[in-house]
Amino acid sequence: MKLIPYIIPFVKDAARAVKRICQADFRAVADETLTELLGIATLIVTMYAMRREGEHEVLHLWCAHREEIARCTRCGAFSTAVHEEEHRCIRHLDVWGKKTFLHFMARRFRCEQCDRTFAEQLSFVDSHRRQSTAFERHVYQSCLGGTCKAVSLREGLSHATTRQIFSRWAAALKGKASGAATIRVLGIDEISLKKRHRQFALVISDIDRRCILAVLPDREKKTLETWIDTLSPEDQKSIRFVSMDMWAPYHQAARNKLPHAKVVVDRFHVMKQLNTRLTQLRTAHQKELSAEMRSEIKGSRWLLVRNRSDLSTSEEAQLIRLLNLCPELRTLYLLKEEFRRIFDKVHDRHKAERFFSVWILKAGWTGNKYLAKFIITLRNWWEEILNYFIERITNGFVEALNGVLRVIMRIAFGYRNFHNFRLRAFAELGTSHANVR
């Protein structure tokens, strides 16, 4: 009968490693090299064992405590009376490129002061954890920019263990970082969680420090107002600007809860509105042309909405041919470029107000119905648009955040659990990464 060799799979659970190896398998350590490589000040490596588990070489280190004393968790007194000991094994950072487990005796002491027993508090591992603090930090940092599944396969952990480590560390760092600094410029925007489902998350950021402050489950006015109420009165007073797009609920919430702050409408959203009107005129004009001329104007949307200074020589020639076909389109295009130059060249709010007022007169004289709609939008958000020229604040960073969040969702193939998405967003872009470029 042919014997089939038994292949030991790699031990993913440190508790199982305790049962697989006994103290007789260890060899004594001749010097302090392994102790130095371990890097834990309270432990000394006394023995080691090398084992083959599946395709991996695993290093087991038997460690002794440097000190025979512990502080009582109840009264704070020191005790040297060991009440009981139990063999404990935890996963640690790799040593010599080998997956490493630490074995040591977990001790309970009896306090000579209050006569109670207590478990020794260890600096390198939390209670009831099967991985050292350093290894958990390594797993958490490895998950940033990747997936828990990939880290699980690389580190030899179960997917559930990796996910729990990431969630616990992300939540802990989020709690420590909250309220770390005052907010001067608040950025507000939303991101679509599911296409075609009209499901949005509200992303609130600190534009000065370039970090996320909150991710809320919807973009309702009440949700934003509730979050603002969680800020202390000092934090609310410190907010000088609120940057947003032209979504009325955001504006109403800012006016209700932060009346002293200046609302700034993002200039790129304003230009997007004007470009939309330009596109509508092009589409309407295209339908009135003959088939031959229609082919000339078809597909020219990006040529019209791009900045003229960014066009190549061939694109400039194509644009001139296009504008010659439709004088009305040419007029609107030139007004669009003039409007953009006001944003680019003017650095004073009062001067900008004068230039925009003249621009509105020019646009009104054209009698164009598409421009008339844009003028209504411009007047409805007049003060908020002019506030841009105080410090030239935009939502550029907020839009960049949304781009990163979309990448995060793509890597994870979407999130069914909003809480997990929020933790990942804070881990990647939260206040712990503030001012990191």
Give residue-wise pLDDT tens across range 386-433: 999 999 999 989 988 888 888 878 777 767 778 778 888 888 777 655
pLDDT of res. 14:
64
Residue ranges per structural domain of the chain: 14-129, 131-177, 185-266+394-433, 267-391
Query: β-pairing, 56-65 with 98-110?
Result: parallel
Gap between the Cα atoms of 102 and 135, Å rounded: 12
Give residue-wise pLDDT tens across range 147-177: 888 888 888 888 889 888 888 888 887 666 5
Superfamily of domain 185-266+394-433: Ribonuclease H-like superfamily/Ribonuclease H (3.30.420.10)
Q: Reduced to 3 states, what is the DSSP secondary structure of residue 22?
A: coil
Gap between the Cα atoms of 381 and 388, Å rounded: 12
What is this structure's pTM? Answer: 0.70
Q: What is the DSSP string of 284-335?
A: HHHHHS-HHHHHHHTT-HHHHHS-GGG--HHHHHHHHHHHHH-HHHHHHHHH
Gap between the Cα atoms of 75 and 173, Å rounded: 29
In one-letter notation, the amino acid at residue 129 is R
Reported as a pLDDT band with limits 50, 70 and 90, residue 338 is very high
Average pLDDT, the chain: 84
Of 211, 169, 232, residue with least CA distance to 432: 211
